[in-house]
């Protein structure tokens, strides 16, 4: 009993920190191979490149922990990015930003309603809205890129606070906020409860539909924020923006140990997952390895992360 | 007695089989045998060890001690699929067919006939027809399972067993959801199996079936074999007595905390939730422990869920205090002071991957907020430790995942979480199932202690003995209605007889009275 207990404890500790361990090991290996990797400039680069997907991944973490799945956030990034640019022709950028976050929340609510109330499996519901939203992006932009020129707005994506780019600060702030909400608030606790066992949560008095919808709302709002950073960084948006981002966001969450069956996860570890994904690209670029290999390697990392989790669960 | 011939005529022989789970001796040195071509009944109350025994036979559980001799050789199956390959089929209570496949596809599933790697439809159809002929019964092979009735599905499972040339078929409550005609049909098929020399181990609670179709009866109680009898040489009275065992008639004298002088805490009037709950009315008073018993399927659990808002009522009225209520969700029920310790602890009662303290605080998480919406973990842990002491919950730490606790400790966690909501009415549905003896006793005293503080308790259990022991008043459910009401001190046999429908009515074998114990 004690032996198996301590063994299972060891496995659970390994499971919990495997992402951190893999992260550190990778850093050490890469910095041996390419000394440039550990330079301040490159570290800043890795963080900044992670910021857009990282913010989106915070939302994905909530959705997946709550037992859902949202693949529409890539399209939603494009829509909110296009809108935040478009709206600025008729209002101050600050109001455009606020409005667009509302748009993200609204589409999140729609995704949540389709999943929780109509009972469409979340991945299919959001497959539908993903396509619809992308269509709206084309209708809104007419198929052409949109441009914006606003110094204030540009700060979100290009500004610096001291030596640190603003998107990184925004990312870290949102990660801290997300982690706090997940661990310290009723909403966070209920999210874990619903993903862990929906029926038991319901029978404990949790309004499961409402809170499940709220996870999708968080997902939509985070997608909107990432859309805002995206638009601000490039000061332009093409209708194709954000394609495939939803997959990187989900990958960040699951590499960070968010259980694909729901109930467990951490926003901080999702951030590490996002950094890990970016680092792989970054290091491969530094080493001059071609893009195709990067895809294969990224895919393997995802399989390894989820495989470890799923396999150890099936064993017990 | 000639040992050789005895061994020849047994298809299965079990010697000294034991199996324990943490805190529970599920089987203790059980020995029995099943003869070739025999229909052998396995009887016992809930928790007597019937399902553990079958699971040990087919290899779903590893036995701790003892030996199993099957078809003249000692066996130790590693899994049900291994025993299935060797000719032991199990027909489970819950259906195990694939609804979207056809009858024939299901019959051959996992053992398809093939030629050079391709499925051989013709061969399978030929064999299928042969099986039908053997059974003297024909089902359309291309029909989807989903479009068949329950009885026909049972027959498909039997056909599946025949396709594997099974020598022993274990049937677990096969008639549980069958009508009388369907059940009769099943019995004919069991007769047919018997003529072919195939043995059947028949697990049921319905005694008249046993007298209709079985050759011998083995009774289990508390994990021990009590007796094996020839069906022809015994009667229902004797079998019931063996199942229930020595009944202690000394009533432990104890105080009743029931406040019959006050208006009832909860009134239930003509509550209907089809198909199982068909018009139930009763009152429960402050401090009262109302026991509800009845056979599985008599509507106890469904009533509990309806009172708690987990399922909607079809009709009827529930009054709490002086307010009529109609809950749309459990959260509303909880707010007005109802709590439910559900029957299925693992799936409905707990979030197993949660740390213990998180399960305890879940329904009342609002009370652990320093500011609205925020949780104070310090207070959570403090409360968790209070309950740990008060209810004697054995934990490695408050952070232990709930799935690693024993059944009794898990149940105490469920009870703790409801105590935190300070309920006026606590419904406990089969709250001692899968719980060891010591924890059972502890749960009884928790119930009593709660009653003494004025909580109205609805104590639901299919074990007559514990309802008898705990309750101030007992309702017996039968077929979705109240079949009897008893005061504390009524003899257990009387309660049990009411539950199974009384002797005369029972032997009549009316379809509606055929329920499991």
Tokens for A185? 């608030």
pLDDT at A7: 60
CA-CA distance, A87 to A227, in Å (whole number)? 14
Q: Are B16 and B66 in contact (CB under 8 A)?
A: yes
For testing the chain B interface, which of A2, A8, A205, A266 should be mutated: the one with the most B CBs within 10 Å?
Answer: A205
A107 pLDDT more than 90: yes
CA-CA distance, B41 to B388, in Å (whole number)? 43
B170 pLDDT more than 90: yes
Q: How many domains are there within chain A?
A: 1
- A73: closest CA among A219, A236, A212? A219
Tokens for B367? 């009370």
How, if at all, do strands B39-43 and A236-237 pair? unpaired
Give the number of other CB atoms < 10 A from CB of residue A307.
11
Contact criterion met (CB < 8 Å) for B353 and A263:
yes
B148 pLDDT more than 80: yes
Residue linked to tokens 């989900």: A250
pLDDT at B99: 87
Of B351, B363, B365, the CB nearest to A196: B351
Give the number of other CB atoms < 10 A from CB of residue B4.
7
Q: Is residue A41 in a domain?
A: no
A62 pLDDT more than 80: yes
Contact criterion met (CB < 8 Å) for A202 and B330:
yes
User: What is the distance in angstroms between the Cα of A50 and the nearest Cα belonging to chain B?
Assistant: 30
Higher pLDDT pick, B491 / B250:
B491
CA-CA distance, A5 to A2, in Å (whole number)? 5
Residue linked to tokens 């603003």: A166
pLDDT at B139: 86
Question: What sign does the CA torsion over A81, A86, A87, A91 have?
Answer: positive
pLDDT at B110: 80
CATH of the structural domain B3-244, one choice from 3.40.640.10, 3.40.50.300, 3.40.50.10580, 3.40.1280.10: 3.40.50.300
B481 pLDDT more than 70: yes
pLDDT at B448: 92
User: What is the distance in angstroms between the Cα of A40 and the nearest Cα belonging to chain B?
Assistant: 38
A130 pLDDT more than 80: yes
DSSP state of B213: H
> Residue B327, SS3?
coil
Of B354, B362, B374, the CB nearest to A185: B374
Higher pLDDT pick, B94 / B481:
B481
Give the CATH fold of the B256-337+423-517 domain.
Rossmann fold (3.40.50)
pLDDT at B96: 78
Most confident of A96-105, A268-277, B160-169: A96-105
A187 Cβ under 8 Å from any chain B Cβ? yes
Q: Is residue A100 in a domain?
A: yes
User: What is the distance in angstroms between the Cα of A58 and the nearest Cα belonging to chain B?
Assistant: 20
pLDDT at B126: 92
B-chain residue closest to A2, CA distance: B396
Average pLDDT in the B254-264 region? Answer: 86
A-chain residue closest to B420, CA distance: A204
Q: Is residue A177 in a domain?
A: yes
- B221: closest CA among B59, B461, B53? B53
Question: What sign does the CA torsion over A77, A81, A86, A90 have?
Answer: positive
Q: Which positions ≥6 away from B497 have C-beta within 8 Å? A: B503
pLDDT at A14: 66
H or E, element range at B40? strand B39-43
Contact criterion met (CB < 8 Å) for A200 and B350:
yes
What is the pLDDT confidence band of residue B188, given thresholds at 50, 70 and 90?
Answer: confident
CA-CA distance, A305 to A254, in Å (whole number)? 7
Q: Are B449 and B442 in contact (CB under 8 A)?
A: no
User: What is the distance in angstroms between the Cα of B308 and the nearest Cα belonging to chain A?
Assistant: 8
pLDDT at A6: 60
Torsions phi, psi of A129, nearest 5?
-70, -30
DSSP state of A119: -
A131 Cβ under 8 Å from any chain B Cβ? no
User: What is the distance in angstroms between the Cα of A247 and the nearest Cα belonging to chain B?
Assistant: 27
**Residue A187 with chain B: CB contacts under 8 Å:** 373
> Residue B387, SS3?
helix
Q: Which residues pair with B495 in a beta bridge?
A: none
CA-CA distance, A261 to A69, in Å (whole number)? 10
* Domains B3-244 and B256-337+423-517 fall in the same CATH topology: yes
Q: Which of A217-221, B248-252, B494-498 has the lowest mean pLDDT?
A: B248-252
Q: Is residue A25 in a domain?
A: no
Contact criterion met (CB < 8 Å) for B374 and A205:
no
A29 pLDDT more than 70: yes
pLDDT 10s digits, A264-304: 999 999 999 999 999 888 888 888 888 888 888 888 888 88
Contact criterion met (CB < 8 Å) for B363 and A200:
no
pLDDT at B183: 80
Q: Which positions ≥6 away from A93 have C-beta within 8 Å? A: A84, A150, A152, A153
B-chain residue closest to A200, CA distance: B348
Residues of B with CB under 8 A from a CB of A: 308, 310, 329-331, 333-335, 340, 342, 347-354, 358, 362-363, 365-366, 369, 373-375, 377, 396, 404, 417, 421
The residues spanned by each domain of chain B are: 3-244, 256-337+423-517, 349-422
pLDDT at B497: 77
B208: exposed, middle or buried (Cβ count in 10 Å: 0-12, 13-18, 19+): middle
A-B Cβ pairs (cutoff 8 Å, strict): 75
DSSP B135-150: HT----TTSBGGGS-H
H or E, element range at B66? strand B65-70
pLDDT at B246: 62
CA-CA distance, B168 to B171, in Å (whole number)? 10
What is the pLDDT confidence band of residue B516, given thresholds at 50, 70 and 90?
Answer: very low
What is the pLDDT confidence band of residue A27, given thresholds at 50, 70 and 90?
Answer: confident
pLDDT 10s digits, B297-334: 788 999 999 999 999 999 999 999 888 998 999 999 99
Average pLDDT in the B382-388 region? Answer: 93
Q: Which of B60-64, B94-98, B259-263, B510-514 has the lowest mean pLDDT?
A: B510-514
Q: Are A11 and A260 in contact (CB under 8 A)?
A: no
pLDDT 10s digits, B109-141: 888 888 888 888 888 999 999 888 877 778 899
CATH (domain of A287): 1.10.3470
> Residue B23, SS3?
coil
pLDDT at A65: 97
- B170: closest CA among B17, B58, B317? B58
| ipTM over 0.90 threshold | no
CA-CA distance, A55 to A224, in Å (whole number)? 9
Give the rounded distance of the alpha carbon of A260 from its chain centre.
Answer: 14
Contact criterion met (CB < 8 Å) for B308 and A203:
yes
pLDDT 10s digits, B442-452: 899 999 999 99
Of A8, A196, A199, the CB nearest to B348: A199
pLDDT at A226: 98
Contact criterion met (CB < 8 Å) for B362 and A264:
no
**Residue B334 with chain A: CB contacts under 8 Å:** 204-205
Q: Is residue A18 in a domain?
A: no
> Residue B37, SS3?
coil
Q: Is residue A27 in a domain?
A: no
Percent of chain A with pLDDT over 90: 71
Contact criterion met (CB < 8 Å) for A197 and B331:
no
Residue linked to tokens 């869920």: B305
A230 pLDDT more than 90: yes
pLDDT 10s digits, B418-441: 999 999 999 999 998 878 777 888
Average pLDDT in the B91-98 region? Answer: 78
Contact criterion met (CB < 8 Å) for B335 and A205:
yes
pLDDT 10s digits, B194-220: 988 899 999 877 777 888 899 999 999
Contact criterion met (CB < 8 Å) for B351 and A187:
no
In A66-121, which ranges are continuous DSSP H helix? Answer: 73-87, 93-116
pLDDT at B464: 84
Domain, as residue range, for A294: 49-315
Q: Are B163 and B139 in contact (CB under 8 A)?
A: no
Longest dimension (CA), chain B: 81
What is the pLDDT confidence band of residue B6, given thresholds at 50, 70 and 90?
Answer: very low
* Residue A242 Ramachandran class (φ > 0 left, ψ -120 to 50 alpha, else beta): left
Percent of chain B with pLDDT over 90: 42
Give the number of other CB atoms < 10 A from CB of residue B447.
21
For testing the chain A interface, which of B23, B330, B415, B420 should be mutated: the one with the most A CBs within 10 Å?
Answer: B330
B358: exposed, middle or buried (Cβ count in 10 Å: 0-12, 13-18, 19+): buried
Higher pLDDT pick, B138 / A115:
A115
Residue linked to tokens 């010591």: B438
């Amino acid at each position: 009993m004690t032996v198996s207990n301590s063994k299972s404890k060891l496995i659970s500790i390994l499971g919990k920190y495997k992402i951190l361990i893999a992260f550190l090991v990778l850093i050490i290996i890469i910095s041996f191979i390419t000394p440039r990797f550990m330079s301040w400039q490159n570290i800043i680069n890795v963080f900044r490149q992670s910021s857009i997907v990282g913010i989106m991944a915070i939302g994905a973490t909530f959705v997946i922990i709550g037992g859902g799945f949202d693949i529409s956030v890539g399209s939603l990034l494009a829509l909110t990015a296009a809108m935040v640019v478009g709206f600025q022709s008729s209002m101050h950028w600050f109001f455009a930003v606020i409005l667009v976050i509302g748009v993200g929340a609204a589409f999140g609510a729609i995704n949540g309603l389709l999943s929780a109330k109509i009972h469409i499996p979340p991945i299919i519901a959001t497959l539908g809205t993903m396509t619809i939203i992308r269509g709206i992006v084309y209708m809104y932009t007419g198929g052409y890129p949109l441009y914006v020129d606003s110094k204030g707005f540009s700060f979100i994506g290009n500004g610096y606070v001291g030596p640190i780019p603003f998107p990184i600060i925004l990312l870290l702030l949102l990660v801290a906020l997300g982690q706090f909400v997940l661990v310290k608030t009723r909403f966070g606790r209920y999210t874990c409860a619903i993903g862990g066992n929906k029926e038991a949560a319901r029978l404990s008095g949790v309004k499961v539909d409402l809170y499940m919808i709220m996870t999708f709302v968080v997902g939509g709002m985070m997608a909107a924020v990432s859309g805002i950073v995206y638009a601000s960084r490039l000061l332009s948006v093409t209708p194709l923006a954000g394609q495939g981002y939803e997959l990187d966001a989900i990958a960040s969450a699951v590499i960070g140990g968010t259980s694909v069956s729901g109930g467990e996860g951490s926003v901080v570890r999702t951030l590490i997952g996002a950094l890990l994904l970016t680092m792989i690209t970054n290091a491969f670029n530094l080493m001059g390895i071609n893009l195709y290999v990067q895809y294969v390697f990224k895919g393997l990392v995802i399989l390894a992360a989820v495989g470890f989790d799923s396999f150890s669960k099936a064993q017990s | 007695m000639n040992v050789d011939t005895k061994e020849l005529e047994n298809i299965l022989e079990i010697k000294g089989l034991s199996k324990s789970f943490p805190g529970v001796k599920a089987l203790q040195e059980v020995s029995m045998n099943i003869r070739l071509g025999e229909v052998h009944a396995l009887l016992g109350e809930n928790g007597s060890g019937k399902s553990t025994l079958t699971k040990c036979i087919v290899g779903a559980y590893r036995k701790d001690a003892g030996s199993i001799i099957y078809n003249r050789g000692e066996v130790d199956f590693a899994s049900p699929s291994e025993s299935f390959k060797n000719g032991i089929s199990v027909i489970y209570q819950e259906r195990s067919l694939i609804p979207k496949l056809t009858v024939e596809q299901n019959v051959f599933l996992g053992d398809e006939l093939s030629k050079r790697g391709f499925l051989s439809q013709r061969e399978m159809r030929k064999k299928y027809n042969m099986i039908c002929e053997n059974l003297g019964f024909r089902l359309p092979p291309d029909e989807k399972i989903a479009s068949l009735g329950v009885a026909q599905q049972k027959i498909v499972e039997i056909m599946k067993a025949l396709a594997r040339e099974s020598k022993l078929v274990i049937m677990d409550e096969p008639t549980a959801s069958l009508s009388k005609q369907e059940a009769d049909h099943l019995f004919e098929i069991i007769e047919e199996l018997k003529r072919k020399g195939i043995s059947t181990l028949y697990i049921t609670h319905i005694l008249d079936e046993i007298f209709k179709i079985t050759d011998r009866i083995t009774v289990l109680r508390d994990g021990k074999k009590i007796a094996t009898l020839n069906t022809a040489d015994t009667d229902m009275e004797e079998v019931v007595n063996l199942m229930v065992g020595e009944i202690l008639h000394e009533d432990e004298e104890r105080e009743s905390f029931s406040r019959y002088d006050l208006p009832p805490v909860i009134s239930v009037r003509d509550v209907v939730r089809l198909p199982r709950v068909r018009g139930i009315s009763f009152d429960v008073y402050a401090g009262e422990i109302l026991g509800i018993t009845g056979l599985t399927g008599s509507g106890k659990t469904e009533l509990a869920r309806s009172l708690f808002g987990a399922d909607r009522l079809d009709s009827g009225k529930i009054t709490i205090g002086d307010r009529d209520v109609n809950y749309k969700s459990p959260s509303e029920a909880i707010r007005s002071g109802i709590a439910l310790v559900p029957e299925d602890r693992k799936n409905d009662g707990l979030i197993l991957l949660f740390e213990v303290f998180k399960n305890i605080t879940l329904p009342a998480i609002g009370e652990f907020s320093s500011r609205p919406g925020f949780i104070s973990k310090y207070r959570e842990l403090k409360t968790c430790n209070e309950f740990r002491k008060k209810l004697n919950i054995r934990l490695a730490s408050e952070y232990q995942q709930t799935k690693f606790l024993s059944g009794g400790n898990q149940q105490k966690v469920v009870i703790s979480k409801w105590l935190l909501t300070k309920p006026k009415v606590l419904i406990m549905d089969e709250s001692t199932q899968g719980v060891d003896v010591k924890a059972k006793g502890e749960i009884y005293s928790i119930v009593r202690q709660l009653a003494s503080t004025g909580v109205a308790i609805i104590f639901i259990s299919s074990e007559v003995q514990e309802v008898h022991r705990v309750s101030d008043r007992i309702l017996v459910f039968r077929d979705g209605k109240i079949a009897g009401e008893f005061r504390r001190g009524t003899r257990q046999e009387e309660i049990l007889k009411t539950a199974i429908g009384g002797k005369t009515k029972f032997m009549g074998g009316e379809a509606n009275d055929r329920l499991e114990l």
